[in-house]
């Protein structure tokens, strides 16, 4: 069963991970999945539409929700989407996406960039 944790969630009033907004997005997913499971292309379109206006921060929240709800297909889908979103982007873009800051010592990051210089070629514009 996909929603063994849903009851727990509704019982758990102090749950900050899964806001109501997220729940309305994530929970209807399995029904939709089942309906159009046969047609992959339709699924892709549905998924693209669903996430077109979702901010990166929302995506990470969705991932946490799907993880908490133990919903593997949704987790798989969201991870794939995040991976596609950060593919071939610059390191700064990825940091902004996840709200991270560099904690490298001065020179450490440069060393990494130099060692793997070939992987920094052809970066997409932000």
Instruction: Determine if 11 is a binding residue for other proteins (CB under 8 A).
Output: no
Asked whether 2 and 69 are in contact (CB, 8 A), the reply is yes
Q: What's the N-to-C CA distance of the chain in angstroms?
A: 41
Tokens of 59: 């995506």
**59-78 residues near other proteins, rule: CB under 8 A:** 60-61, 63-64, 67-68, 70, 75-76
Number of residues that bind other proteins (CB under 8 A): 44
Asked whether 122 and 88 are in contact (CB, 8 A), the reply is yes
Give the count of alpha carbons within 13 A of 105, CB side only: 2
Cα gap 62→71, rounded to integer Å: 11
Cα gap 8→4, rounded to integer Å: 8
Cα gap 33→37, rounded to integer Å: 5
Instruction: Determine if 43 is a binding residue for other proteins (CB under 8 A).
Output: no
Contact with other proteins (CB under 8 A) among 1, 7, 11, 14: 14
Instruction: Determine if 48 is a binding residue for other proteins (CB under 8 A).
Output: no
Shortest reach from residue 35's CB to other proteins, in Å:
26
Contact with other proteins (CB under 8 A) among 40, 117, 125, 126: 117
Shortest reach from residue 7's CB to other proteins, in Å:
13
Residues forming the site for other proteins (CB under 8 A)? 5, 12, 14-17, 57, 60-61, 63-64, 67-68, 70, 75-76, 79-80, 82-83, 86-88, 91, 94-95, 98-104, 109, 112-113, 115-121, 123
């Amino acid at each position: 069963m996909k929603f063994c944790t849903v009851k727990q969630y509704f019982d758990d009033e102090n749950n900050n991970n899964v806001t109501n907004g997220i729940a309305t997005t994530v929970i209807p997913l399995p029904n939709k999945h089942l309906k159009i499971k046969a047609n992959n292309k339709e699924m892709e379109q549905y998924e693209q539409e669903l996430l077109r206006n979702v901010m990166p921060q929302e995506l990470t929240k969705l991932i946490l929700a799907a993880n908490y709800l133990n919903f593997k297909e949704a987790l798989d889908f969201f991870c794939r989407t995040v991976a596609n979103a950060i593919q071939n982007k610059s390191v700064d873009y990825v940091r902004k996406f996840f709200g991270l800051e560099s904690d490298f010592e001065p020179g450490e990051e440069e060393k990494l960039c130099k060692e793997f210089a070939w992987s920094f070629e052809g970066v997409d514009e932000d």
